[in-house]
Amino acid sequence: MFTVAVNKATHGNAPTIVVGGSLTFQITQSGCPLTVSPLSFHVPAAAADYFVSVRVAGPVSCDWVDFSNDNTIIFIGNAEIRNGSADVRLSVTQNQTGRARSASASVAGQTVVVTQDP
């Protein structure tokens, strides 16, 4: 008999067990059940704050991280490892380029895309 710890990560896991020194068994373990919403925003040129919702389904309190992939999206506070359900507040700077632009952020293993008007 064996016990596999709960997977609190957003991605799957595939640990192996070796029995008797030669029999290898691989266990497939899914990632923590969570949803990220919305995965995209279309926003005006003005600077504003927006929220991305992370919701964990079930009794497990998942660990996840958020960070910006572009300096046109700035998270309020530092990118950090979070736990469980939460709303991530991000601030989009004013678009003064005269053309549409887009940027992305990673939230709980999902890519959130922001497209901004000129």
Q: What is the pLDDT of residues 59-73, one digit of tens each?
A: 778 889 998 878 777
Residue 13 one-letter amino acid: N
The CATH fold of domain 34-116 = Immunoglobulin-like (2.60.40)
Per-residue pLDDT at 97 exceeds 90: yes
Token pair listed for 41: 């925003």
Q: What is the mean pLDDT of residues 95-101?
A: 94
Domain ranges in the chain are 34-116
Instruction: Give the Cβ contact number of residue 17 at 10 Å.
Output: 11
Specify the pTM.
0.77
3-state secondary structure of 63: strand
Per the rule left: phi > 0, alpha: psi between -120 and 50, beta: everything else, 37 is: beta
Is the distance from CB of 4 to CB of 14 less than 8 angstroms? no
Q: Tokens 């016990």 — which residue? A: 3
